[in-house]
A and B are shown apart, each in its own frame.
Chain A
């Protein structure tokens, strides 16, 4: 079943056309990586999917329900009760974590499920502690974000997103703000999520990681999807731009 469908998405900032007619879909449990040079529109695409940006053309559909679209009458986003439901389908892990600095790690994770999803407190706390165990932060539940390293903060942010039980989780360059030395610990956690069977869409510059984890890879260039396929197909494609791009990384 398709969790997310994006059809003919266009997005401009002023005169700058960032996305030019992009279509993609994400199946239940599928892991999709989006790679490409800086400025190719990867993050913008993710932000349009996460409804942080509206679209100038096309439509974003979650589980058959139109969530964000543009037509002759303008740009639209779903509103009211339907919006609350649709927004629960996805979660997002930001490049710079965006944890709430005045909350402990545990409160960062538990407040939204209790307050916004009206779930049972005990159940949410149990789930949060289980998540903390999984990401190796059990001893940090009462720590504040400033007391954690960047890698720990990002892992906590991942737990926070997971606690809302999304069907698809977006990652916007989750390791770009981290030291190369601690990139590994975050990538390991993301890999371990594969067993949870939730769909993931990962914008990343970590080529080896993308190749290992993905069911499918999109290569974006200048606002379009230049290449799409299995990791093998994409990394061994006879495609000029892709080769140039990979060449820069292996150097």
Chain B
């Protein structure tokens, strides 16, 4: 097999990895914020449930979670799981897992905000929601951006875990080619792809960080 063909196949796998990456961020970033509210809720029941959820998400392998999301509906409820469900299960599994990590990052940021900012906003007549969205959240985002970057870069590499549901993302394809050609080259090529992917991600995150550096 010529190297161009290998690269072409890897690139199509890369596109699938990219979709997992993008959709996971689109769902998990807002979901994480909602989960962090639950984690900080005054309601003990809600807080405890969310705490257990985060603990399980962080305490068990993502690969296992993907398997549970994919096969769970069949084993638990006897529902038939069609081929279309595979990708959905991957996105659900990744989003629910990453939301837990993001929730803890949001919480650390929100709890690190000085009480004075809330008090000043209250004195100036800001409503609870405009206090959060105009005063608190922008400052929280700036504080937590380095931690978010860490998670986002991990996610790029974690997309390879979709192979556990036999989804043909980049790493799965690299493995298949490597096995059929008894060559290690596809793995090296995949490694280079991941690295470039993350380089771009790191550059984008750096840009965002810079765009927030106009104040301290």
Contacts and interface: CB of A to CB of B under 8 A. Distances in A.
Given A98-B119, A100-B135, A116 B125 contact: yes
B77 interface: no
Interface stretch (A17-25, A27-35, A64-72, A83-91): A83-91
Contacts of B130: 115-116
Nearest to A160: B124
Given A102-B142, A102-B215, A146-B215, A116 B126 contact: yes
Contacts of A146: 215-216
Given A52-B122, A87-B125, A101 B116 contact: no
B125 to A, nearest CB: 4
8 contacts: A84-B125, A111-B134, A115-B130, A115-B134, A116-B124, A144-B214, A145-B215, A160-B124
A138 interface: no
B123 A50 contact: yes
B119 to A, nearest CB: 6
B215 A94 contact: no
Interface residues of B, number: 20
**Chain B's interface: helix, strand, loop or mixed, by majority?**
helix
A168 to B, nearest CB: 12
Interface string A111-141: 1100111000000000000000000000000
B176 interface: no
Given A98-B117, A101-B216, A115-B130, A92 B125 contact: no
Given A52-B122, A112-B125, A116-B125, A98 B116 contact: yes
Contacts of A96: 116
Nearest to A91: B123
A100 B117 contact: yes
B123 A92 contact: yes
A46 to B, nearest CB: 11
A101 B215 contact: yes
